[in-house]
Amino acid sequence: MHYSESWASQNRINAVEMRSLWNSDVRERCSLKEDVVTRTEESLLQWFEHLERMNESRMAEQICRANVCDDTKVNKNYPKNLMQTKFVVY
């Protein structure tokens, strides 16, 4: 998903969070200093850092490497909606 496709989702997520935590006192009690999108992005970065340290024989590492899109070989049948993508582990 490109950033231009995800900004609307990020805005919706932030709106829901702010509706839920509209009161700054509640946000302070929950110790939330960042929005949901920022926390999610940080979690993804931590996961990718973990994959970089992981042994290449591990299944998660193999799946991640197999699903990396190569810009020179773009598949025309690639689903427009990434939620339609299914990963099969052999």
HEC per residue, 33-81: CCCHHHHHHHHHHHHHHHHHHCCCCCHHHHHHHHCCCCCCCCCCCCCCC
Band (90; pLDDT cuts 50, 70, 90): very low
In a domain, 80, yes or no: yes
Q: pLDDT, tens digit, for every residue of 37-87?
A: 787 888 888 888 887 888 878 887 777 777 655 445 555 665 555 544 444
The pTM (predicted TM-score) of the whole model is 0.39
Structural domain for 56, as ranges: 3-84
In a domain, 45, yes or no: yes
In a domain, 18, yes or no: yes
In a domain, 89, yes or no: no
In a domain, 30, yes or no: yes
In a domain, 90, yes or no: no
Q: Return the structure tokens found at 70.
A: 């190569």
3-state secondary structure of 31: coil
The region, left, alpha or beta by phi > 0 then psi within -120 to 50, assigned to residue 31 is: left
| Structural domains of the chain, count | 1
Q: pLDDT, tens digit, for every residue of 13-51?
A: 888 777 776 666 676 777 777 777 787 888 888 888 887
